[in-house]
Structure 1
């Protein structure tokens, strides 16, 4: 079976007409997509929370004020009490889902302990919760024109400011979201 119909390592960019408050103007990075469904992390929903608060909650010692102030994101509406670290390079952590040869998403505490002492991955995005789709659900939403999809750009993923990620992800596909209505077809 061809894996080309799967959206792993792609951005899902909410169409302007997608009004679900969980995904309005969102960019979701698809970490895994197969016949059983899909899992992704919304990458442009900053929470009013910094990493230092998570460290305090789970009793991880940390000193570097820059690390304490790392922004935490709302990764999606599912299991919002569970943390995920999207990171590059892949590294060797206890519980990592390998997305590509360079990018992984880790849910084990060892990566947070490494970040706390400045020994974590070079680039990270910390999120609480995730976005999940059951078998065939994402395919149906794609058919309903709820999303644009295209190859993920690590620079947008890790470097672009949150407020610019929705437009930047669409622009990376050559699409100006301001020109689209909620009725637009596939790009």
Structure 2
């Protein structure tokens, strides 16, 4: 990921979509998760789990990193996925400010991994809407497509109100509801004729 990298939409790409786990998902890393797909191409996919708070408040993380937190926001830090779970990933609405390491996913949403955005957040000069996660979810070439064909995941277009304004515990069902789906009524046989 480099600064000012434009996102490249490809036919069949799930970039800028939510991916949600089916009820029969057994993997503890992904059971009951809602993932925002940041990048998806023939090389693989990368996303951030957006509904699993770690039980750590952002102010704790900022203090641990040596920033004096003057913000008035009590934001949770999320478990973004099992890959590089010691590294921070900030999903945020695009702003006029540019940070050292940004990947513009869409015209509205950016993924930033540099410390300068955390300093700005601690000083109340960061983006208005953001989500801080430790780690990410990743798939190799063809892996996500295979899992989709096995009914492990469903997808829908992302909704930023769900990601930023809906309480974390309601996001999974809210995303499914955009498709008219109640996850409690689904089985592992969905989609098979």
**TM-score, scaled relative to structure 1:** 0.94
Equivalence for 1:84? 89
CA distance in 2, matches of 1:56, 1:119: 17
Q: In structure 2, what is the Cα distance between the partners aligned to 1:3 and 1:174?
A: 26
CA contact 1:7–1:32 (8 Å) conserved in 2: yes
Q: Distance in 2 between matches of 1:30 and 1:180?
A: 22
| Secondary structure of the structure 2 residue equivalent to 1:142 | helix
Q: Runs of at least 4 residues of structure 1 off by over 6 A?
A: none
Q: Which among 162, 173, 177 is matched to residue 167 of structure 1?
A: 173
Matched, 1:37 2:18: no
Pairwise mapping of residues 73-152 of structure 1 onto structure 2 (< 5 A)?
A: 73-90=78-95, 91-152=97-158
SS at match of 2:125: coil
Unaligned 5+ residue runs, structure 2?
A: 1-8
SS of the residue aligned with 1:132? strand
How many aligned residue pairs are there?
Answer: 183
Give how far 1:70 is off. Answer: 1.3
Deviation string, structure 1 residues 17-46 (Cα, Å, up to 9, x no partner): 111111111100000111111110000000
**Contact kept? 2:83, 2:137, Cα under 8 Å:** yes
List per-residue Cα deviations over 1:63-94 (Å, max 9, x = no partner): 23x33x31000000111100011000244111
Which of 72, 77, 99 matches 1:72? 77
RMSD after superposition: 1.3
Aligned twin of 1:179: 185
| C-alpha separation in 2, matches of 1:53 and 1:14 | 30
List runs of 5+ in structure 1 lacking aligned partners. none
